[in-house]
Amino acid sequence: MEWSLVGQFWAIALALALTPGADWAYAIASGLRARSAAPSVLGMACGYVVVVVAVAVGIGALMTACPVALTALTLAGAGYLILLGCGALLSRAEQLRASDRALGDDVAVQFARGAGVAIINPKGVLLLIALLPQFTSATGWPSAAQMLVLGGLHVLDITVIYFGVALGGRRLLSARPRASAAVTRVSGVLMILLGGGILVEQLVGML
């Protein structure tokens, strides 16, 4: 396992975790409308564990064995990143606000909803499928084990960040709406740069 690849993946995964999206919206909702954000955030973390395991033991290994499919999926992931970035730049800060409807006090329901948000979130699923295989090394650990380690880093990132988003959401959105807009714009630029970089790298490799 090449630790330089681990560092590169961690940097990209961290940037993605800092990008507002469906996960952020649910984390903010749990911070605003539930007694504790822990069940929702932990549910999202467990949802991503399911995705990581599925990629590592099945989909990711298949992509590694089929370079053409991996390249196509990576290009699709890069394009989706750019699309998300453009959407973030064109969005309004109010879109990150949660509704006033209560989440309820059932911890199990909040946990299940969090897991569902993560599992059906196309950004997280598609990007993990596209990114995990290309940051594995052909030597050393089995590719599945490498993807589990990389995916574990991503899950750790989102757990810490989403707790921060949930706990800080109320203050940020109610007292500093301009800061919320700035976070959205910066995240959009980062997504476009990341997607563009992956796209250029893949196209250069094809020449």
* Closest alpha carbon to 195 in 93, 88, 102: 88
The pLDDT value recorded for residue 172 is 67
DSSP conformation class of 83:
H
What is the reported pLDDT for 79?
78
Is the pLDDT assigned to residue 41 strictly greater than 50?
yes
Measured distance CA(207)–CA(192) in Å, rounded: 22
Instruction: Specify the pLDDT at position 98.
Output: 43
C-alpha span between 88 and 33 (Å, rounded): 24
Answer yes or no: pTM beyond 0.85: no
Going by the DSSP 8-state scheme, the letter that residue 118 receives in this structure is H
pLDDT of residue 133: 74
> Is the model's pLDDT at 61 over the cut of 80?
no
More confident residue, 100 or 200: 200
Place of tokens 């090449």: 2
Taking only the tens place, the pLDDT of each residue in 78-109 is 776 687 678 767 765 444 444 444 455 578 88
The pLDDT assigned to 49 comes to 92
Residues 116-170: pLDDT tens digits? 878 777 667 767 777 777 777 777 788 788 888 888 998 999 999 999 988 887 6
Read off the pLDDT band of 33 (50, 70, 90). low
CA distance 156 to 60: 20
For the chain, percent of residues with pLDDT exceeding 90: 7
